[in-house]
Amino acid sequence: MRILVLNGPNLNLLGHRMPAVYGRETLDEIQLLVRGHADRLGVEVKFVQSNHEGALVDAIQQHRDWDGLIINAAAYTHTSLAIADALEAVQVPAVEVHLSNIYARERFRHRSTIARVCWGQIAGFGYRGYIAALDLLVGRLSEGETQ
């Protein structure tokens, strides 16, 4: 089983940028935690982070034959039709993750352009959201669900 973990703009600054909102863990630390959990589950994970919308679209398309996708599109969550269209086109089961509770923040963050093409959304649990997303995807895929 192969799962792509995709992170959008400014997530490379985790641990330094607004730690009260996003947590003190760096992206590297989150990736180590997710990789450790994936190893215990026997799942291959690959991590991609980009501050560029087109690079995120490219990564989605390049991994269209993978089993699942975890995506924290960051600010692109609220604006990117291109990322939503790419997710819809590849039809890989995807879980949308947000470190903060986007519904407890500014009103513009309450809208997700990618939610309609994702299997589900996890928000507000910090790095634990990635672990939960991995567990949920592995469970779904192990049960034979692909769409």
Q: Per-residue pLDDT tens, the chain, 147 aa: give them.
A: 999 999 999 899 877 776 665 567 899 999 999 999 999 999 999 999 999 999 999 999 999 999 999 999 999 998 899 999 999 999 999 999 999 877 656 676 567 999 999 999 999 999 999 999 999 999 999 998 655
Is 127 part of the annotated catalytic residue set? no
**Using H for helix, E for strand and C for coil, what is the string for 2-28?**
EEEEEECCCHHHCCCCCHHHHCCCCHH
What pTM value is reported for the model? 0.89
Q: 76, 98, 127, 130: which is the annotated catalytic residue?
A: 98
| β-strand pairing of 94-98 with 68-72 | parallel
Give the integer Cα–Cα distance in Å for 120 and 50: 22
The CATH fold assigned to 2-142 is Rossmann fold (3.40.50)
What is the dihedral angle through the alpha carbons of 132, 134, 138, 141, rounded to the nearest 10 degrees? 100
Q: Among this protein's residues, is 22 annotated catalytic?
A: yes
| Segments making up each domain of the chain, as ranges | 2-142
Report pLDDT digits (tens) over 62-103: 999 999 999 999 999 988 999 999 999 999 999 999 998 776
Question: Out of 22, 76, 127, 130, which one is annotated catalytic?
Answer: 22
